[in-house]
Each structure stands twice: as C-alpha cells, then as structure tokens.
Amino acid sequence: MGFTRAELETYRDTEVPDLLPAPGEPLRLLFVGINPGLWTAATQTHFARPGNRFYPALLAAGIIEHPVDPSAGMTDEDRAALRGRGIGITNVVARATARADELTTDELRAGGERLRRLVAEREPLVVAVAGVTAYRTAFGDRRARTGEQPERWGRSRVFVVPNPSGLNAHDTVATLADAYAEAARAAGVVGG
C-alpha cells in the first residue's frame, strides 16, 4: 500500500482511535505515541509509517509473537493479539500531522491532561510514553529522562521510552526493544 504526498495531506488533523482492550478487560501496558502521523491516519494503525521501528522493536522484545506490517494497516488478528495480551496504544495528541513538531505546547499539555484521565479510568499497570521531549512538555517535567519515572499516576508506573520514529537516529531496533522490554516486564507482559 502506498500513498502520494497529496493523498497523505488529506488525512491532516484526522484522529486515530485508541487501541485498547474492552472495558473490564485488563490493560497491563499502555504505549503512548506523541500524535498520529499522516500514514497512521490513512491506515488507522498506530505507528504505521514505513520505517517506523515500533513493531520490529516489539517483536524483538518478545512483546508480540508475529511480525506486524502496520504500513498496510493492522489486521483484526493483529489488534486482537495486542488486546489479548493487555496491551493498548494511544497518543498524547489525537490529531494527525506530518511531524510532531507541528504541535503546540498547549496541545501537548491538553493531551497530557486527557491521557491522565484515560489512565485514571483504565488503570494500566504501566504507561510507556514514547518520546522524552514530548513528555517533558506535556507533563511539565523538564528533568524527565528515559526509563521509569519517580512519580506514579495513581496505581500506574510510568516509563519514558525512546520514540521509534526513523527521525530518532540515536536508537536502533535493539535499543528500542530493550527499553520496551523493561516496561513490558514491569507490566507482566513478558517474563524476566
């Protein structure tokens, strides 16, 4: 599946629904992106842009058992496998942009408040926010570093993990997998 730049632009400001287990089913690990990209909006699949390393890192970490090709859109089986393991995916900001730096500070802060409400309602064991810069802005914590944060959100442990975007050249699939596995172990999604 491919899109032209003009086709992708038609998805600007589109929202992508959260991928969550049904209410009443356990939510162990909630991954949080910054906001949907245009490819994500076009396919209605989180972290879908070709070259994004999210799903390869999940596979390498043992969080998922089969490769996912999100650039074509997740299958119902892919979604069910994540939900069945108690894994959810959301974003700090719901609207799609070509780049995360198109978001305003006010949008990130408002999205942070919405995320805290979602966490209070669903009570995941672990929240893993992908992107330290966005985390610092959304939650007003300029000293935040990657890894587990000292503050819990209610019962939920909070981790900041590296952003899997190809624009984040500092991390590889292997280093992303290590960070994601740490959060997944804390949530009881993987052993160790």
- Give the number of other CB atoms < 10 A from CB of residue 76: 7
Render pLDDT for 33-74 as a digit per residue (tens, 0 to 9): 999 999 999 999 999 988 899 999 999 999 999 999 888 889
Q: Residue 146 pLDDT > 80, yes or no?
A: yes
Topology classification of domain 5-187: Uracil-DNA Glycosylase, subunit E (3.40.470)
Render pLDDT for 86-132 as a digit per residue (tens, 0 to 9): 999 999 999 999 999 999 999 999 999 999 999 999 999 999 999 99
Average pLDDT over every residue of 153-170: 89
Mean pLDDT value across the chain: 94
pTM given for the model: 0.96
- How far out from the chain centre does Cα 176 lie? 12
DSSP letter at 181?
Answer: H
Average pLDDT over every residue of 11-27: 96
**Which residue has 């390869």 as its token pair?**
56
Distances 121 to 28, 117, 160, 192 between C-alpha atoms, Å: 13, 6, 20, 28
- Cα–Cα nearest to 78, from 52, 48, 107, 53: 48
pLDDT > 70 in the chain, percent: 98
Distances 79 to 45, 73, 161, 182 between C-alpha atoms, Å: 9, 10, 22, 22
Q: What residue ranges in the chain does DSSP mark as E strands?
A: 29-33, 87-91, 126-130, 147-148, 157-161
φ, ψ of residue 90 in degrees (nearest 5): -145, -170
Q: Residue 85 pLDDT > 90, yes or no?
A: yes
Average pLDDT over every residue of 78-83: 95
pLDDT at residue 16, as a whole number: 94
Domain ranges of the chain: 5-187
Average pLDDT over every residue of 123-151: 96
pLDDT at residue 1, as a whole number: 64
